[in-house]
Amino acid sequence: MDVGGTKTEGVAVDVDGTILARLRRPTEWGADAVIAGIVETTQALAAEVGFTAADILSVGVGVPGLVDAAQGRVLHAVNLGVESLDIARLAGAEIGAPIFVENDVKAAALGAASLRPDTAPMAYLNLGTGVAAGVVTGGRLWRGSRGIAGEVGHIPIEPNGRLCGCGQRGCIETLCGGGAVGRAWGRGGDYPVLDVYDAADAGDVEARALRADIARGAAAAVSVLVLTTDVETVVIGGGLTALADRLEPDLRAALRMNAAASPFIASLRLDERIELLAPGSPVAALGAALLGVEQPLSYPVGAADTSAVTFDKENPDHG
Ligand SMILES: [Zn+2]
């Protein structure tokens, strides 16, 4: 499941990654409510597909925040009202199955990778309230040594740019993160990025500049991911993809403009290496579910070798 700040999306999947059931429910605030929500979501999905508790091989939980995957713990999940929470231990005691916990964007990267026809190295770039990415290589998440791999949102690209929540100036996230765009727009509204696009279409000068920033920031994120990891594909998801009909042409134009200025960048063919996910695709929940399957992506989805499904409770961070 993907436990987000406002909603929890859950899927029940078979060992080959086939989605058997899917549900969405509101997320409630605070540690006790988060654990109760994970337990209830698991029970509801199990009931829907006719599983007993013994049928559940594992439960994967994607959460926004700093995750210690080895301990199954999340820190600083401010959107959930949680400072520190031992999800694996607390939810595992009630569910009676191994619980795997991962950062939500990293889980989404795993889920997006599982939907691909091959296991070529790929990155998942999340353009949502914030901007972050996950890299999957050899069918496994590449976390880096401290779990920071893929945090492209906080790479500064404009020394005199807007102040970022992280304390730096001109981070990629200040250009194309929904939260930062909303603050820069400063006119309120429930969907400030949509308002920016609409106002830009109507000729508003400030909105047109912000709209250009979104494309420029997203293009920079794609460039950074390919230049640092040489992933074959950058799959783009997150809330901003609800505006794909306007975001995608802008992003492709920004990538082509960068290519026109540099034969080297042109040779990377970045505009051929991006793909936008369909809005609402439950990749974070799917990827979370796959956390418990050893080498989840070593085979094409739909052709699973179930003998590879093993668990190591002593070392759940098998990525
Ligand atoms: Zn930053």
Per-residue pLDDT of the chain in tens (319 residues, 90 and over written 9): 999 988 999 999 998 889 999 999 999 999 999 999 999 999 999 999 999 988 999 999 999 989 998 899 999 888 899 999 999 999 999 999 999 999 999 999 999 999 999 999 999 999 999 999 999 998 899 988 888 899 999 999 999 999 999 999 999 999 999 999 999 999 989 999 999 999 999 999 999 999 999 999 999 999 999 999 999 999 999 999 999 999 999 999 999 999 999 999 999 999 999 999 998 899 999 999 999 885 443 333 333 333 333 334 344 343 3
Q: How far is the CA of 314 from the centre of ligand 1 (A)?
A: 35
Q: How far is the CA of 50 from the centre of ligand 1 (A)?
A: 45
Fold of 2-108+281-308: Nucleotidyltransferase; domain 5 (3.30.420)
Residue type, 52: T
Instruction: Of 295, 312, 314, give the one whose Cα is nearest residue 110.
Output: 295
Q: How far is the CA of 153 from the centre of ligand 1 (A)?
A: 6
Quick one: 144 exposed, middle or buried, by C-beta within 10 A (0-12, 13-18, 19+)?
Answer: exposed
Helix (H, G, I), strand (E, B) or coil at 74: strand
Q: How far is the CA of 171 from the centre of ligand 1 (A)?
A: 5
Q: How far is the CA of 155 from the centre of ligand 1 (A)?
A: 7
Distance CA 122, CA 126 (A): 13
Quick one: 152 exposed, middle or buried, by C-beta within 10 A (0-12, 13-18, 19+)?
Answer: buried
pLDDT at residue number 317 = 41
DSSP per-residue string spanning 164-181: PTTS-BSBHHHHH-HHHH
Pairing of strands 99-103, 82-85: unpaired
Number of H helices, E strands in the chain: 10, 13
Q: How far is the CA of 157 from the centre of ligand 1 (A)?
A: 10
Distance CA 173, CA 154 (A): 6
pLDDT at residue number 19 = 95
pLDDT at residue number 294 = 56
Q: How far is the CA of 164 from the centre of ligand 1 (A)?
A: 5
Q: How far is the CA of 239 from the centre of ligand 1 (A)?
A: 19
CATH topology match: 2-108+281-308 vs 121-231+239-276:
yes
Fold of 121-231+239-276: Nucleotidyltransferase; domain 5 (3.30.420)
Helix (H, G, I), strand (E, B) or coil at 47: helix
Helix (H, G, I), strand (E, B) or coil at 2: strand
Instruction: Of 130, 112, 132, give the one whose Cα is nearest residue 121.
Output: 112
β-bridge mates for residue 82, sequence order:
77
The b-or-e profile of 25-63 (16+ CB within 10 A means b, else e) is eebeeebeebbebbbebbeebbeeeebeeeebbbbbbbb
Q: How far is the CA of 19 from the centre of ligand 1 (A)?
A: 35
Q: How far is the CA of 8 from the centre of ligand 1 (A)?
A: 26
Pairing of strands 140-142, 122-127: unpaired
Do the beta carbons of residue 2 and residue 8 sit within 8 Å? Answer: yes
Do the beta carbons of residue 123 and residue 135 sit within 8 Å? Answer: yes
Residue 106 parent element (H or E)? helix 104-114
Domain ranges of the chain: 2-108+281-308, 121-231+239-276
pLDDT at residue number 34 = 97
